[in-house]
Amino acid sequence: MTSELFKIGIVGAGAMGAGIAQVAARAGHRVSVFDTNKEALVTSRKKLEELLNRLVDKNRMSEEDAGHLFNRIVWVSTLEDLAGSNLVIEAIVENLEIKKKVFSELEGLVDQECILASNTSSLSIAAISSSCNNKARVMGIHFFNPAPFMPLVEVIPAIGTDLKLIDSVVELMKKWNKTPVTAKDTPGFIVNRIARPFYGEALRIYEEGREGLPEGIAGFATIDWAMREIGGFKMGPFELMDYIGNDVNFAVTESVFSAFFYDPRYRPSITQRRYSEAGWLGRKSGRGYYDYSDNAEQVKPLKDKELGNKIVDRIVCMLINEAVDAVYLRIASADDIELAMIRGVNYPKGLLAWGKEIGYNKVLSQINELHKVYNEDRYRTSPLLSKWAKES
Ligand SMILES: NC(=O)c1ccc[n+]([C@@H]2O[C@H](COP(=O)([O-])OP(=O)(O)OC[C@H]3O[C@@H](n4cnc5c(N)ncnc54)[C@H](O)[C@@H]3O)[C@@H](O)[C@H]2O)c1
């Protein structure tokens, strides 16, 4: 079937729905976008038009291509308008009951062969699919924000999903110029699970001491400096939380934590909760860990190499342990885990390769050392890390 005949339906015209519609239209599909909020439809249409005009002005797209892309998308006012779709991707509010209702309505509208997918970041695909009689065609297709620019897509089969459909969606994502990885239907899938210590361990270090105080470890400016300059990450954890929004990042952490039956390894931070409660959300509110007002004076990092190395080692070892545990629990293949962290969150290298480079025995002893100091299950190592440490 040509792209033109393979029709895509999108439910939700917010940040993600609009971005996914653009990706599908760029790949040549006809796309219908539905949203219950008429304003969201108008806004997303207008934003796309403005974006395409900018791309044409900058000579990054021809006027003809931009016109074709735009004309392939229709913004529709009823869910029934998605009836002729071959694949529907839902990107509405992160609420299980509302998503289930949409899936059960969709099931009665579309053909038997139509694939139904959710872009959920944190809900279980099995729970969403429970609202459908035919669960074989329900899956997760998880894009990253902004969808047109982020290459990674996690494709997630639920318990009852037909794996042949997973294979065809993986192929389809490649045609959309994306990097698909397949993940188990577990909390946070690959990226949002493995990345937790990037924020959590950084917050933990910060909670122990601020810049200017004699005790403690380091403040957020120093942690960010170390992770960027020594660790090679594009952004430090605090800059990134400010960019994502403390409310959004906290909600993901809390949801992963509760979905893991309150495993202490994923425990959220009181500090971040307070920032979120106070409305210090980050860039979008003008104030987060950093002050985004004009001429604001920023806290200076302590550029102490030895301290910086300690910070990076601690956070990176915790990340490596998560990645190794994800291999152990068969959340995804080792290759997909490496790809996911590089292409989904721009990590400077794959965490498994990084573990090898440092030496798994060193990673193990670093975390065991933390366990000795804090005596918390948060510093629990994966059985596979112990095995690889013995072999390294
Ligand atoms: N924002 C991100 O960084 C990100 C990344 C990956 C996945 N996601 C997931 O994508 C989904 C959408 O997130 P978003 O950031 O685009 O949200 P958003 O708030 O920008 O947009 C959601 C849209 O859904 C619409 N909507 C709500 N209920 C609806 C219904 N019953 N039928 C049709 N439309 C409805 C709203 O009017 C709104 O326009 C969520 O499941 C989220 O977890 C978000």
Number of the ligand 1 atom closest to the C-alpha atom of 95: 41
Q: What is the pLDDT of residue 216?
A: 65
Q: What is the pLDDT of residue 112?
A: 94
Query: Mutate which of 16, 47, 75, 153 to test ligand 1's pocket (most atoms within 8 Å of Cβ)?
Result: 16
Q: What is the pLDDT of residues 127-171, one digit of tens each?
A: 999 999 999 999 999 999 899 999 999 999 999 999 999 999 999
| Residue 102 CA, ligand 1 centroid: distance in Å | 13
Pocket of ligand 1 (CB under 6 A): 11-17, 34-37, 40, 91-94, 98, 102, 119-121, 143-145
Q: Identify the residue whose C-alpha is closest to ligand 1 atom 21.
A: 14
| Residue 285 CA, ligand 1 centroid: distance in Å | 20
Q: What is the pLDDT of residues 296-318, one digit of tens each?
A: 998 889 899 999 999 999 999 99
| Residue 265 CA, ligand 1 centroid: distance in Å | 28
Pull the structure tokens for residue 44.
């997303």
| Residue 237 CA, ligand 1 centroid: distance in Å | 24
Q: Rounded distance, CA 118 to CA 134, Å?
A: 15
Residues of the chain short of pLDDT 70, as ranges, are 1, 209-216
Q: What is the pLDDT of residue 217?
A: 81
This prediction's pTM: 0.94
Q: What is the pLDDT of residue 3?
A: 77
Q: What is the pLDDT of residue 306?
A: 94
Active site residues: 121, 142, 154, 192
